[in-house]
């Protein structure tokens, strides 16, 4: 293989696929990125056997070839290069790839590309075509509600149903549920229902480029996989096997509606959390128990709370939360919500009737 590619294109391509790399696998090749020539472009691929990402970047190809190189090494190296031309050359005898940019020259020891897991090729004649802007919005409104608990793998997924020419996404962690439905522009040949890992859905939304207008989805029969095809990228994910909770029985079994403005609803939730902590303070201080209030906003909120408690040497922790991830996620993009006050679950937040899909 002998090729040249701009630093910007190579760095962008590596940033797309490297999220699928498996750094702790017992198979060394899974810690690598596959770099291969493919019809006048460079193809980059990475997989952890559950999630695989491939992208194509423009390049000047002089000789065909392929190799896998350690992902961390190539990502860090390309990141140090200036925005200039990067020249790649493969020595097939030693499975070593030379990387040259300006006066900087390096050699990376790789693994034969034949040891890399085969990348499935989707049959686009059997695809379901989706508007990418709408699909990304659906992912944003639903995937956040999936569980992070590995003990319940079904709840780590997003239920996708294609039926009656409509696409429905649903996710729940056992405490909250989010559902979005959208009509399909083109008729489908066969209805289906699958569970896709929420991480794969989020990765799809992340790798979609500004020039992508549509995404083609293929579910190969009997392979337990789903493949999403974009203009310059593909994502393949293993499906989750199991029984997803019957969200329809939970959501559509209520009868009473109240309408709230989203900004007022969020302010009220904040106020309730503060009031709960003030109540604790009123009880504790007369008994000579000092209280400190700490507001925590963090991606891993419980880890942050434990760390704060250790630093302050707390004897007791009282927490009041307005559910930033839950309420905040649901309120994204909403102007008004309908809240069900009588159902099998405490609260249902619904988009306005004018949209009526989420």
Give me the CATH number covering residue 210: 3.10.150.10
pLDDT at 349: 58
pLDDT at 283: 64
Secondary structure of residue 255 in the 3-state scheme: coil
Domain count, the chain: 3
Are 241 and 129 part of one and the same domain?
yes
pLDDT at 223: 85
pLDDT at 86: 96
pLDDT at 47: 96
**CA 343 to CA 329: how far, in whole Å?**
21
pLDDT at 261: 62
257 within some domain: yes
Cβ neighbours of residue 150 closer than 8 Å, sequence gap 6 or more:
156
Cβ neighbours of residue 285 closer than 8 Å, sequence gap 6 or more:
291
Cβ neighbours of residue 157 closer than 8 Å, sequence gap 6 or more:
146, 171, 195, 196, 197, 198, 240, 244
* Tokens linked to 149: 């608990």
Q: What is the pTM of this model?
A: 0.74
Contact 341, 256 (CB under 8 A): yes
**CA 229 to CA 304: how far, in whole Å?**
38
Are 97 and 149 part of one and the same domain?
no
- For the CA atoms of the chain, what is the radius of gyration? 25
Give the residue numbers spanning the domain of 54: 2-115
Contact 88, 35 (CB under 8 A): yes
pLDDT at 125: 83
- Crossing angle for the helix pair 7-17 and 71-80, to the nearest 10 degrees: 150
pLDDT at 22: 85
Secondary structure of residue 291 in the 3-state scheme: coil
pLDDT at 209: 77
Are 7 and 101 part of one and the same domain?
yes
Residue spans of the chain under pLDDT 70: 252-277, 279-281, 283-284, 287-290, 292-303, 305-306, 309, 314-356, 358
């Amino acid at each position: 293989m002998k090729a040249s590619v701009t630093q910007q294109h190579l760095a962008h391509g590596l940033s797309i696929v490297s999220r699928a790399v498996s750094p702790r696998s017992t198979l060394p090749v899974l810690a690598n990125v596959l770099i291969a020539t493919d019809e006048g472009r460079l193809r980059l691929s990475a997989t952890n056997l559950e999630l695989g990402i491939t992208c194509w970047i423009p390049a000047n190809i002089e000789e065909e070839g392929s190799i896998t190189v350690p992902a961390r090494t190539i990502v860090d190296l390309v990141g140090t290069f200036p925005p200039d031309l990067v020249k790649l050359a493969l020595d097939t005898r030693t499975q070593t790839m030379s990387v040259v940019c300006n006066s900087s020259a390096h050699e990376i020891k790789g693994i034969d590309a034949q040891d890399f897991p085969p990348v499935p090729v989707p049959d686009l004649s059997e695809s379901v075509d989706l508007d990418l802007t709408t699909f990304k919005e659906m992912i944003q409104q639903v995937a956040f509600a999936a569980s992070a608990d590995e003990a319940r793998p079904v709840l780590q997924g997003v239920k996708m149903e294609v039926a009656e020419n409509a696409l429905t996404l649903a996710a729940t962690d056992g405490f909250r549920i989010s559902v979005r439905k959208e009509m399909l522009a083109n008729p489908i040949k066969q209805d289906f229902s699958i569970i896709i890992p929420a991480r794969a859905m989020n990765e799809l939304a992340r790798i979609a480029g500004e020039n992508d207008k549509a995404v083609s989805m293929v579910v190969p029969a009997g392979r337990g996989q789903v493949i999403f095809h974009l203009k310059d990228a593909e994502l393949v994910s293993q499906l989750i096997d199991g029984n997803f909770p019957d969200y329809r029985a939970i959501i559509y079994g209520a009868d009473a509606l109240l309408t709230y403005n989203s900004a007022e609803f969020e302010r009220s939730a904040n106020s309730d959390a503060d009031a709960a902590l003030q109540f604790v303070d009123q009880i504790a201080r007369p008994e000579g128990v000092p209280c400190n209030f700490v507001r925590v906003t963090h991606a891993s909120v419980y880890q942050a709370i434990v760390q704060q408690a250790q630093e302050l040497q707390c004897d007791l922790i009282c927490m009041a939360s307005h559910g930033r991830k839950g309420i905040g996620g649901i309120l994204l993009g909403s102007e008004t919500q309908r809240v069900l006050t009588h159902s099998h679950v405490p609260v249902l937040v619904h988009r306005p009737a004018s949209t009526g899909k989420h």
